[in-house]
Chain A
């Protein structure tokens, strides 16, 4: 049972490592790499996590699950605000996002925010994918450590 601190240091080391070992001109790939890393984690995580669950009723039910139980286990708190336009776009707002709390409280280091959110986006996308929903997940920060995740469900 790994301690929280260990995971947080590990996460920031992964980010630092990818940026350290990638050439300057290829650094846009890092975000994609972190995202795919997270995707894989989310996929297996949700599989273990929902094995004793009852079936989900609809999309909103799944989103509630993500906001409450999933968020609680992975990010140590619940999502503070969930909004939707009822057409497949969900916005999850977290006012104190776990990976950002140690970085800054305000507008400092804003350029660094995307790389610390990429893996989280991947985790969310991966878990939704394994529940059976394709989606596009993006993150947006206006002032740390608050953060908004926008989930766009893809209908096929």
Chain B
């Protein structure tokens, strides 16, 4: 019998696919459970928020970044460090508002949507809603209240995925939620 070919495979790659596939399975499950796109968006966003709240700790511990002086610096760190580290991509920061409190993240190769095709009748679904939640949760933990929403989505035929981040206000040092 012939010798077996080695089945070596890049573990990092598989790990990325594991994440993508798990995410896909989850979204499919949520669509079955809720049968309403808006509700699925909301739940995904909420899950993202919970992840972001914890992910920021990991990020700060691993990167040694200090406090940001302005929102532009925040944008840079999000795209060049955070996205790079966790998803292996670097979104383009663009479309700054005149006041400098709003910008867009243009994601060209969103890893969450590999192998995904949106079936008809789900126009309201923002497949990658998790990302919005993660960004919002993580930034909230460094005292920035930010509004994140989808402007363009590759799954709906746009050429890029565009996330719009809007700085709402600076959160004052406060007692953590759930403690008196």
Contact = CB atoms under 8 A, between A and B. Distances in A.
User: Which of B13, B15, B54, B58 is the most central at the interface, judged by chain A CB atoms within 10 Å of its CB?
Assistant: B15
Interface in B103-137: 111, 115
Interface of chain A, main secondary structure: helix
Given A1-B12, A69-B8, A10 B87 contact: no
Contacts of A4: 15
Contact of B25 (A5, A37, A69): A37
A105 interface: no
B29 A33 contact: yes
Interface string A5-45: 11101110110110001000000000001001110110011
A23 to B, nearest CB: 13
Number of chain A interface residues as a range? 35 or more
A42 to B, nearest CB: 9
A2 B50 contact: no
B4 A54 contact: yes
B25 A2 contact: no
Interface in B3-24: 4-5, 7-9, 11-23
Contact of B19 (A10, A16, A57, A65): A10
Given A2-B16, A3-B87, A53 B23 contact: no
Interface of B: 1-2, 4-5, 7-9, 11-23, 25-26, 28-29, 43, 46-47, 50-51, 54-55, 58, 85-88, 111, 115
